[in-house]
Amino acid sequence: MQREARDLSQQLNVAPAVVLDQTLADVADASKPRASAALRALARLRPDEASRNKVAQALNAPLLDSDLGLRRAALDAVRVWGSRANTATLLKVLATRTRDGRRDCEVIELLGSLQDPAAAPALAEGLTRREETDASVKALVALGSGRGRGRRSVSRFHHPRDAVRRLLGTR
């Protein structure tokens, strides 16, 4: 059904902005299947920088949804459309432990990719947990590869393991 609607939109030359607005309306829809399909569609789209912040903000609600399938679809969309507008929400998601009491390493890496220094303390916390060290190092390196404050934030971290200090460039 959605493929048919997309094909029809193309045949009718519907403006991409109109299609994006409808997709965002579907993301906010109470119907989980519709919202999930819209999130999957966003994850396949090429991001438009002019719309990135609007889309990123629309992804915050499904990131906190209790439906794990919807949350996973939202994480996939954030990989494509994410911005610093998602940092606070992703930090809430990170604070929610998995069934085995761990934090989600996928969320850790995603936070690093947003290059928001506000995530640095939560990311650094992962350096103290063996199961999160690799993801935390990747995230902090990504955070530090940005310009400005993010780089300075990472340079202040000290970790007891030489390999982690080398990766962070803080030796």
Q: Which of the pair, 158 or 73, is modelled with greater confidence?
A: 73
- Of 1-10, 32-41, 46-55, the one with minimum mean pLDDT is 1-10
CATH, domain 1-82, list 1.25.40, 3.30.450, 2.70.98, 1.25.10: 1.25.10
Q: Per-domain residue ranges for the chain? A: 1-82, 98-171
- Asked if residues 101 and 132 have their Cβ atoms less than 8 Å apart, the reply is no
The sign of the dihedral angle between the CA atoms of 102, 107, 112, 117 is negative
Residue 159 has a pLDDT of 57
**Closest by CA position to 90, among listed 152, 167, 143, 147:** 143
- Residue 51 has a pLDDT of 96
Who contacts 69 (Cβ-Cβ below 8 Å, separation ≥6)? Answer: 32, 36
* pLDDT (tens digit per residue) in 71-97: 999 999 999 999 999 999 999 999 988
Of residues 22, 23, 1, 3, the one with CA closest to residue 11: 3
pLDDT at 98: 79
State whether the Cα torsion 134-69-24-122 is positive or negative. negative
pLDDT value at residue 102: 87
The more confidently predicted of residues 157 and 42 is 42
Q: What is the pLDDT of residue 144?
A: 81
CA pair distance 19, 64, nearest whole angstrom = 24
Does residue 37 carry a pLDDT above 60?
yes
- DSSP-assigned letters across all residues of 28-74: T-S-HHHHHHHHHHHHHSPPPTTTHHHHHHHHHHHHT-S-HHHHHHH
Higher pLDDT, 166 or 57: 57
Position 151 scores a pLDDT of 44
- Output the pLDDT for position 5: 53
Confidence of residue 158 (pLDDT cuts 50, 70, 90): low
Contacts of 116 (CB under 8 A, 6+ apart): 84, 87, 143, 150
